[in-house]
Chain A
Amino acid sequence: MEHLPEMHLQHPATVEEAVKLHAAAPASRYLAGGSDLLVNIRRGIERPDSLVYLNGIAELHTITDGLEQISIGGAVTLRELAESQLLRKPFSAVAQAAGKVAGPSHREYGTLGGNLCLDTRCVFYNQSEWWRAANNYCLKYRGDICHVAPGGKKCFAAFSGDVAPALLLFDAEVELAGPDGRRRIALAALYRNDGMDHLTMTRGELLVAVHVPKIPAPVRTGYAKSRVRGSIDFPLAGVAVRLGLQDEKIADLRIGLTGVSPLPFLVRGLDKFVGRKPDDACLEELREVVRGQAKAMKTTLTPPHYRRRVAGALAQKLAESIF
């Protein structure tokens, strides 16, 4: 891998100071854990001149148990999230997803904010400089052709964060801070379906916290993923399921997907399962609905048809095993 270019490392103590320092240099990036950003810089797909280091900001490290919501700071590590006592039932999917990101050492320093703002990934993009140069680069960086869908002008690089689909199950909101102050938006509104520019954050904004509303209903949730190396890898497909039963019939059903498109999203059209018994026929139908919406493209070495099938199968298995 390439050496790191010359960069200026800034150490702000507050969110507001961080935003100011970010605005002061033309190509700043926020740095927290760095497990993805430093790799991308060394591969030449990020070229910042200044890094604003967030781990010295106390506000970003807190988890608060409020009356109506749990608030999690953006620099809370994935290990802390996975072990948090606040994220037991019904929030198990969030802890499970955090505990399945990469390997144990990555989770010690990888953060919630980093996982939610993870750059999209593609087999033609996450490569060394010489590899990409030999392939005439690609639409996402420096090139003018998408090797995944050569005819089109759209980038299909896949969002591969594990925690986002789990948080989508709970209508979580993200708090952003930027040059124009703070704002709070739905997590779903943080993303758009464009592999080249999948985050709706404006330049200089950073993710301060995630707010997860508490839910009264007795629902259960879980997260499962398929990956090449079972012990450490990005998801080929990741599935978060939220299921609530009443009188043995489905009363509440949500499914979040990741790894199969440029954004994490909730599966549509699950209303038709409400009121039905979760028997074999019902869950097989559910599998087909999920499979139909997991429109994975050729962004990994594993073929897309496998990722579509495994997304459906994981949803079926999770729904079966959750109760």
Chain B
Amino acid sequence: MKNTLSLTVNGITRDDVVPDNMLLVDYLREKVGLTGTKIGCDGGECGACTVLIDGRPRHACLTLAATCQNAKVETVDGLSRDGRLTAIQRGFNEKLGAQCGFCTPGMIMASEALLRRNPDPSEADIRDALAGNICRCTGYVKIIEAVQFAARELAA
């Protein structure tokens, strides 16, 4: 079965005909052409596919696109404006929070969700918020520094 899906992706309203069994991550990457959202474990274990749905972090690989009717979906592709990076993106850049970079889109979206509801997180808050995102390169120290950098930038 196919139905029309109406939603906003990174602030742009879209209507697309999608099959009922299409995953949100496939919709975003293949239909919308936004390849920032990554497919890692493909089963909700690594967090690389984390996007925001109505401001809350969610795995795009475990979400049917057709359940996002009228939702506001945000991906890493939509964060920067006119070439200017957001605080959390600058944090990952300045603090070398990315090595191979594959987990980074998910890390950034999970951090973005955290900073929106808690602009001044403790290290424990950051570790809790990123508990579902795996990074095999950094050892997480640089990622936590990146989020702390962003929090300081937001406060300044």
Q: What distance in Å separates the Cβ of A74 from its nearest Cβ neighbour in chain B?
A: 16
**Cβ of B67 < 8 Å from any Cβ of A?**
yes
Task: Give CA–CA (A159, B19) in the complex, Å.
Answer: 33
B47, A103: Cβ atoms under 8 Å?
A: yes
**Cβ of B110 < 8 Å from any Cβ of A?**
yes
A1, B47: Cβ atoms under 8 Å?
A: no
* Interface-facing stretch out of B27-35, B51-59, B96-104: B51-59
The residue from A3, A9, A106 contacting B1, defined by CB atoms under 8 A apart: A9
**Cβ of B82 < 8 Å from any Cβ of A?**
no
What is the 8 Å Cβ interface bit string for chain A, positions 1-22, against chain B (1 contact, 0 not)?
A: 1011111110100000000000
B66, A9: Cβ atoms under 8 Å?
A: yes
In the bound complex, residues from chain B placing their C-beta under 8 Å from that of A3 are: 21
**Cβ of A85 < 8 Å from any Cβ of B?**
no
B43, A106: Cβ atoms under 8 Å?
A: no
Q: Which residues of chain A in 99-144 are interfacial with respect to chain B, using CB atoms and an 8 Å cutoff? A: 102-106, 108-109
**Cβ of A219 < 8 Å from any Cβ of B?**
no
A105, B110: Cβ atoms under 8 Å?
A: yes
A39, B21: Cβ atoms under 8 Å?
A: no
The residue from A1, A7, A34, A51 contacting B42, defined by CB atoms under 8 A apart: A1
The residue from A8, A34, A51, A102 contacting B132, defined by CB atoms under 8 A apart: A102
B44, A35: Cβ atoms under 8 Å?
A: yes
**Given contacts A1-B43, A35-B44, A105-B59, is CB(A9)–CB(B131) below 8 Å?**
no
A104, B43: Cβ atoms under 8 Å?
A: no
What is the 8 Å Cβ interface bit string for chain A, positions 35-55, against chain B (1 contact, 0 not)?
A: 100110010000000010101
- Chain B interface residue count, Cβ-Cβ cutoff 8 angstroms: 30
**Cβ of B75 < 8 Å from any Cβ of A?**
no
In the bound complex, residues from chain B placing their C-beta under 8 Å from that of A232 are: 45, 131-132
**Given contacts A9-B64, A231-B131, is CB(A109)–CB(B58) below 8 Å?**
yes
In the bound complex, residues from chain A placing their C-beta under 8 Å from that of B45 are: 232
The chain A residue with its CB closest to the CB of B56 is: A108
Q: What distance in Å separates the Cβ of B93 from its nearest Cβ neighbour in chain A?
A: 24
The residue from B3, B19, B58 contacting A105, defined by CB atoms under 8 A apart: B58
**Given contacts A104-B128, A104-B129, A104-B132, is CB(A35)–CB(B59) below 8 Å?**
yes
Q: Which residues of chain B in 55-73 are interfacial with respect to chain A, using CB atoms and an 8 Å cutoff? A: 56-59, 62-64, 66-67, 69
**Cβ of B79 < 8 Å from any Cβ of A?**
no
Task: Give CA–CA (A108, B71) in the complex, Å.
Answer: 15
A34, B131: Cβ atoms under 8 Å?
A: no
**Given contacts A55-B67, A102-B132, A103-B47, is CB(A34)–CB(B21) below 8 Å?**
no
B21, A6: Cβ atoms under 8 Å?
A: yes
The chain A residue with its CB closest to the CB of B1 is: A8
A34, B64: Cβ atoms under 8 Å?
A: yes
The residue from A1, A8, A39, A106 contacting B20, defined by CB atoms under 8 A apart: A8
Q: What distance in Å separates the Cβ of B105 from its nearest Cβ neighbour in chain A?
A: 13
In the bound complex, residues from chain B placing their C-beta under 8 Å from that of A35 are: 44, 59, 62
Q: What distance in Å separates the Cβ of B142 from its nearest Cβ neighbour in chain A?
A: 18
What residues of chain B have their CB less than 8 Å away from a CB belonging to chain A? 1, 3, 19-23, 42-45, 47, 50, 56-59, 62-64, 66-67, 69, 110, 127-129, 131-133
User: What are 22 A-B pairs with beta-carbon distances under 8 A?
Assistant: A1-B43, A4-B22, A5-B21, A6-B1, A7-B21, A8-B20, A9-B3, A9-B20, A11-B69, A31-B67, A34-B62, A35-B44, A35-B62, A38-B23, A39-B44, A42-B42, A51-B20, A102-B132, A104-B128, A105-B47, A109-B58, A109-B63
Given contacts A4-B21, A231-B131, 8 further A-B contacts (CB under 8 A): A4-B22, A6-B19, A6-B21, A9-B20, A35-B62, A103-B131, A103-B133, A109-B58
